[in-house]
Structure 1
Amino acid sequence: MQAFYFSLSLTYDECESLYQPGINTVVMTAENGKRIQLPTKNLRPHVTRSGIKGRYRLIIDNNSKFKSFEKMA
């Protein structure tokens, strides 16, 4: 398994695009510089009234399949 870390800071208005038809993925750059494509459905649970803010960890398996995306404490 591999873990990638992201620092995100998006306003609520910027997060609206996560819900638009036809936009199914986002491309983010991890702290190590690697670009990762992630389905928008994995970000939606983290949207709050203020948007998405904080440090997050993405875990994928050895076949590059999604395992989890969680906010770090």
Structure 2
Amino acid sequence: MQSYFFTLSVKYDFCEQFYQPGINTVVITSDDGKRIQLPVTNLRPHVSPIGIQGRFRLIIDDSNKIKSFEKIT
């Protein structure tokens, strides 16, 4: 398994796009510079009235399947 850490700071107005038809994935860049394509369904639970703010950890298995996506701070 691999872990990736990243910081997100996304305004609420931009987060509204996560709920539009046809928007299924986003690309994020981890702290080590790796670009990761992530389904927006993983981000939706973290949207607040100010958007998405904080540090996150993504854990994937050896088949690149998401095992865990969580806010850590």
Structure-2-length-normalised TM-score: 0.96
> C-alpha distance in 1, partners of 2:15/2:6?
16
Deviation at 1:16, TM superposition (A): 0.6
| SS of equivalent residue, structure 1 residue 37 | strand
Deviation at 1:68, TM superposition (A): 1.1
Q: How many residues are matched?
A: 73
Q: CA RMSD in A?
A: 0.6
| SS of equivalent residue, structure 1 residue 14 | helix
Q: Which residue of 1 aligns with 2:7?
A: 7
In percent, how many aligned pairs have the same letter?
A: 64
Q: Which residue of 1 aligns with 2:65?
A: 65
Following TM superposition, the consecutive aligned residue runs of length 4 or more in structure 1 with deviations greater than 3 angstroms are none
Deviation at 1:38, TM superposition (A): 0.5
Unaligned runs of 5+ in 1: none
Work out whether 1:51 is the aligned partner of 2:48. no
Q: Which residue of 2 aligns with 1:25?
A: 25
> C-alpha distance in 1, partners of 2:67/2:15?
22
Matching residue's letter, 1:35: R
Structure-1-length-normalised TM-score: 0.96
Unaligned runs of 5+ in 2: none
Q: Which residue of 2 aligns with 1:38?
A: 38
